[in-house]
Chains A and B, each alone.
Chain A
Amino acid sequence: MAATPLLELRGIDKSFGPVQVLHDVGLSVYPGEVTALVGDNGAGKSTLVKCISGIYPIDGGTVTFEGNEVAIHSPRDASALGIEVVYQDLALCDNLDIVQNMFLGREKTSGIVLDEATMEEMAGETLRSLSVRTVKSLRQLVASLSGGQRQTVAIAKAVLWNSRVVILDEPTAALGVAQTAQVLELVRRLADNGLGVVLISHNMNDVFAVSDRIAALYLGRMAAQVKASDVTHSQIVELITGGRSGNLGLPAEKPSEFIDITPGEAQ
């Protein structure tokens, strides 16, 4: 296993007005590994992803990419580094075909004419490298694809650009059993191809099926980042719901950190 992380976040803080959503969050993404990012609703998973992808600016902390500190101000900066995000709602155009969707916004041209042949070749190669065999034709409209196939196209779109880190937001949330298995297999293959993969998921079975490391967020803090082989299913659930599990996780809250809001007696 690679010793140095591909992408490393340290001490990330992020507030929206008076509400601090992320407190001192650290996360390491290693090449060739799937890092699962888990946490309850509102724990800050999506905010963290948006900070990494440049949609939200961070208030404090550092982002290190391949050992160099970087500043990501926009989604374009993130793509330039090779960080791609596959959002839950996929962001595909139903009225365009697979190739057109994969190259959307970054079309290859020769002169002013779209270079369809090159794009089709590159799309085909990318899908082949991911061992995708479930689409009939590259010129199929995305509208005609199943949920799993759409997810596949969205992931392929993310890896088309020699990406280094791919962040997947709940890729299996809307899928059936067979399609979930296929997508998880694809996620594993991305890591095996040497990419750093971040998988956001609520489903513990999925998390344990593919991930090497698990990072659990609890109320905007990183409760723990552990090897998947070192923990059990129930420990992760405890980390998600309570922020700690045995000697893992955040230190127990001290009573002094709380303000007494019970009416009557002052403290």
Chain B
Amino acid sequence: MTTTTTTTAGGIQAVKPTVASHIRDYWGRVRGGDLGSLPAVLGLLVLALIFGVARSDTFLSALNFANLFTQSAQVVFIAMGLVFVLLLGEIDLSAGFASGVCGAVMAILLTNHGLPWYVAIPAAMLAGIVIGLMLGVLVAKLGIPSFVVTLAAFLGFQGVLLTMLKGGQNISITDEFVKSLNNGNLSTAWSWGLAILAVVGYAGIQLNRVRSRAARNLITDPIGIVLFRIGGLAVLLFAATAVLTQERAINPAINSLKGVPIVVPIIAIAMIIWSFVLGRTTYGRHVYAVGGNTEAARRAGIPVDRIRISVFVICSFMASIGGILVVSRASSVDPNTGGSNILLYSVGAAVIGGTSLFGGKGKVINAVIGGAVIAVIDNGMGLMGFSSGQKYIFTGLVLLAAASVDALARRRASATGS
């Protein structure tokens, strides 16, 4: 046992951490098995470097960079929802086709019934909520393992989608608003405005937190680390905005193409909202508690069943937004929307980003980072001329590596106990 029970001189008011001790603590947590998104971020850098060197003309182009976001939007949205389900140690295998069904609901209302987008989109979201409610009740109240419930739903929704599309018709949409969601770009002014707003907002929240904690004599993160975080975000966002506001059309005279894709702020808003819910509200705390120790949560008076149902609702709701975005991108829905590799990529995104399959550990941002890794592999290997088969094999290996990291970290955490 490495922990000691010797008393520390300062009692529980530990010494104020310095930048060096903060980094040491972080490194200690990493060595102790609490890796978070670190492997995914490192993997992302390495992959980007490899593809960047091998295909510097295409992979590193602004056009391709923008494509990464629009291509991965559906996977990222489903993965963000899956994080909640995975936090309870459950799984939702039906999220892919659920997103397809919701996308089809929207397309049918728009095209076949001629309804406006402000009816069709909420209807699709509502479909997602109903699907999640159904799954959640079956898992929580009947006690059927989520693997079985959602496997059945996976098959079922595939059939529902086929039936809705009358045996495999392709329904295309013409609504400009819906199409712009995952095809359009923000103007240059909006792009910069939102980037600056995001950095200022983040800085405000971080500095305010330090100030209010310091005022109450609580331990704060060292100011150097806080400034580093703010600076890092600023560099990242401003660099990305600078690239995306470049003209990226092949022939700008015909059709100008520049600005941050509209889907980027949509992903960012979803990520901020759900991160807030998980990290800063009682509900989020209870989700972690149920995932960590269901019995303890029950004894603490947390409504475990309701929490269990709610995560399936969130997952299917997010899947419905994913469905809306993928239909928007393709401007149509077909029987394979949300099928093939979408679900596996989404689970992969959450796990690669650092969400534990064992429950209790994970953040919404994990899904976004993991989704980026998957998108870069898919996109980069495609550009390098690898076949689909080779891409699947490589993505499978990356997922396996991420799951191994998760399992090993868990073993290590229980072995060191520090």
Contact = CB atoms under 8 A, between A and B. Distances in A.
A219 B6 CA distance: 42
Contact of B280 (A89, A114, A127): A114
B212 A75 contact: no
Contacts of B293: 91-94
Contacts of B300: 91, 104-106
Interface of B: 1, 3, 5-8, 11-14, 32, 34, 212-213, 216, 218-219, 280-282, 285-286, 288-289, 291-293, 295-297, 299-302, 360-361, 413-414, 417-418
Contact of B302 (A95, A104, A114): A104
Given A112-B281, A127-B12, A144 B417 contact: yes
A109 interface: yes
A109 B13 CA distance: 23
A107 B300 CA distance: 11
Given A91-B293, A113-B280, A117-B213, A107 B285 contact: yes
A146 B3 CA distance: 7
A243 interface: no
Given A95-B361, A96-B292, A182-B5, 4 more contacts: A117-B213, A133-B11, A135-B12, A144-B417
A136 B8 contact: yes
Interface string A102-144: 0011110100111001001100100110001111111101011
**Chain B, interface SS category:** loop
A96 B8 contact: no
Contacts of A91: 293, 295-296, 299-300
A145 interface: yes
Report the 5 A-B pairs with minimum CB-CB distance, sorted nearest first: A105-B300, A93-B292, A95-B292, A95-B360, A91-B296
A137 B34 CA distance: 17
Contacts of A28: none
Contacts of B218: 117, 120-121
Contacts of A261: none
A146 B288 contact: no
Contacts of B6: 134
A133 B292 contact: no
A189 to B, nearest CB: 15
B117 to A, nearest CB: 30
A117 B280 CA distance: 12
A201 B418 CA distance: 29
Given A114-B285, A138-B12, A93 B3 contact: no
B1 A134 contact: no
B297 A104 contact: yes
A114 B328 CA distance: 37
Nearest to A107: B282
A146 B216 CA distance: 29
Contacts of B12: 124, 127-128, 132-133, 135, 137-138
B291 A95 contact: yes
Given A95-B361, A104-B296, A143-B413, A113 B281 contact: yes
A207 to B, nearest CB: 23
Contact of B282 (A95, A109, A135): A109
B301 A144 contact: no
Contacts of B285: 96, 100, 104, 107, 114
Given A105-B301, A133-B11, A143-B413, A96 B288 contact: yes
Nearest to A89: B295
Nearest to A120: B218
B14 A134 contact: no
A93 B296 contact: yes
B5 A75 contact: no
A88 to B, nearest CB: 12
A93 B417 CA distance: 15
B213 to A, nearest CB: 6
B280 A93 contact: no
A141 B13 CA distance: 16
Contacts of B11: 128, 133
Given A75-B299, A121-B218, A128-B11, A93 B5 contact: no
A132 B360 CA distance: 28
A164 B285 CA distance: 27
A205 to B, nearest CB: 20
